[in-house]
Amino acid sequence: MKPSVVYKKIVMFQDLNPAQMLYGGTMLNWMDEAGAIFATELLGPERAFVTLKVSEVLFKHPAKLGDLLTFYAHISRLGRTSFGVSVSVHNRQREIVSCDLSFVALDNEGTPTVHGLTI
């Protein structure tokens, strides 16, 4: 499946760490949000889900002040109630960070339920 552009962010002063690079915790927040936006688009706004797991986070290159970042997502795995979303973050030149998120679809009682997604 072709990755979708989920959203874009620009690195601002308040996002920097003392080394003048994007703070990793902020990047994790943005990637979780990108994965959740993608999952909402897949499931529809009425379906509930939670993040089960964040894995394989790789900070390959730093993001710097003023960098325009593009967040791509695609389905990496389909289980019965769970599904994986791979998130890849690019600056203008290349991929700088990637991670894999697992989500679980929930019913109205908050119990895992079949998500019904197909590739």
Ligand X SMILES: CC(C)(COP(=O)(O)OP(=O)(O)OC[C@H]1O[C@@H](n2cnc3c(N)ncnc32)[C@H](O)[C@@H]1OP(=O)(O)O)[C@@H](O)C(=O)NCCC(=O)NCCS
- 3-state secondary structure at position 36: helix
Q: State in Å, rounded, how far the first CA of the chain is from the last one.
A: 7
**Binding segment for ligand X among 20-28, 44-52, 54-62, 67-75 (CB under 6 A)?**
44-52
Cβ-proximal residues to 9 (8 Å cutoff; 6+ apart), any chain: 30, 68, 69, 71
**Interface with ligand X includes 29 (CB under 6 A)?**
no
Which ranges of 1-119 does DSSP label H, i.e. alpha helix? 24-43
**Interface with ligand X includes 50 (CB under 6 A)?**
yes
Count of positions on this chain that bind ligand X (CB under 6 A): 10
Torsions phi, psi for 27 (to 5 deg)? -60, -40
Among 4, 26, 40, 51, binds ligand X (CB under 6 A): 51
Q: What does the per-residue mask of binding to ligand X show for 74-93, with x meaning CB under 6 A?
A: -----xxxx-----------
Q: Contact positions toward ligand X, by CB under 6 A?
A: 50-53, 79-82, 104, 112
